[in-house]
Amino acid sequence: MNKDDQSSLQLATFAGGCFWCMVTPFEELPGIHGIVSGYTGGHIVNPTYEEVCSETTGHAEAVQITYDPELFPYRKLLDIFWRSVDPTDGEGQFHDRGSSYRPAIFYHDDKQREEAQASKDELQLSGRFHQPIAVTIEPASEFYPAEEYHQDYHQKNPLRYKYYRHGSGRDAFLQQHWNTPKDKEELRKRLTPMQFEVTQNKGTEPPFRNEFYNNTEPGLYVDIVSGEPLFSSRDQFDAGCGWPSFSQPLHGGSIQEHQDFSHGMFRVEVRSREADSHLGHVFDDGPKPGGLRYCINSASLRFIPKDQLEKEGYGKYLSEI
């Protein structure tokens, strides 16, 4: 990115409880150039994690996001924020209690303040939550990056992060409140019948009669629902099975794996991390050295040709193609 491009970048700052859990919803999306975990909103200069946890500094754990508003507008960041927190709990988030875990939107200019207030009002009027929306909207103040071991914690300690996140109750709450029949119907309007059946109902499209099973063009595959980057064409190979096959996910790709005992078989299901879309399954009959075959439904994917990556905000993946 050149200097002129950097001048167009903006900051967004959100507090939503444990900052470990507020990084993953935003990362790897087009137009997101950086996410830093830290502390803000208090009165102590350069606080430590221990000081913030003592509830004496006034600071909240928060994330500060550097983004390109042309590729990822602030309103879309707000939408992700609301879908990542319990907006009715102003005393903390899930099992983390106290003001350092309070949810807040810290605006950097009047436009952000107006958009944040409008989105909060819309959520309150939507009827999705029966209690008042307790998230505060506050002017941004000095942001202090947290200690290095807190940065990208989910990558450094993936098992502990997953255990913590699940145990906190965050995922169960979000699944309950953001995967309603109404949400499904809205998604149905955006997707084709096959895309909806595959991603939402764990369906399987016909072999050899799908969009990307024999694609040879260089590019990036992203989640059809969320745009999360998943696979590179560099890792695609012809497995002869009639579905797109990959030897590995994209480095840092947004996938998760689950045990699948459906249809009287044991398989490993592959899903996207944030949208939780069903993608396909992974088998151990792929090419060496890894020996894996990620057998993925075309209907769960959107393909972005290599020459369009910069334009669509995925330029950082050019070296992976």
CATH number for the domain spanning 107: value is: 3.30.1060.10
Q: Which of 21, 53, 241, 295 is catalytic?
A: 295
Average pLDDT over residues 6-31: 92
Per-residue pLDDT band for 6 (boundaries 50, 70, 90) equals low
* Number of domains making up the chain: 2
Task: Judge whether residue 47 has pLDDT over 60.
Answer: yes
Q: Report the distance separating Cα 54 and Cα 69, nearest Å.
A: 36
Give the global pTM: 0.81
Q: Is 109 domain-assigned?
A: yes
Q: Any catalytic annotation for residue 241?
A: no
Pairing of strands 60-67, 32-40: antiparallel
- Does residue 99 share a domain with residue 224? no
Average pLDDT over residues 225-246: 96
**In the prediction, which pLDDT does 253 show?**
67
For residues 314 and 229, the answer to whether their CB atoms sit within 8 Å is: yes
Q: Tokens representing 182? A: 């109404």
Q: Is 288 domain-assigned?
A: yes
Residues 6+ apart with CB under 8 A from 268: 257, 258, 259, 260, 281, 282, 283
Q: Which of 18, 21, 53, 241 is catalytic?
A: 18
Q: Tokens representing 129? A: 């939550």
**In the prediction, which pLDDT does 39 show?**
98
**In the prediction, which pLDDT does 126 show?**
92
- Does residue 304 share a domain with residue 235? yes
Average pLDDT over residues 159-170: 93
Average pLDDT over residues 56-72: 96
Q: For the ranges 54-68, 97-111, 165-179, which has the lowest average pLDDT?
A: 165-179
Domain that holds residue 197: 189-320
Q: Is 173 domain-assigned?
A: yes
Q: Please, what is the average pLDDT of the chain?
A: 94
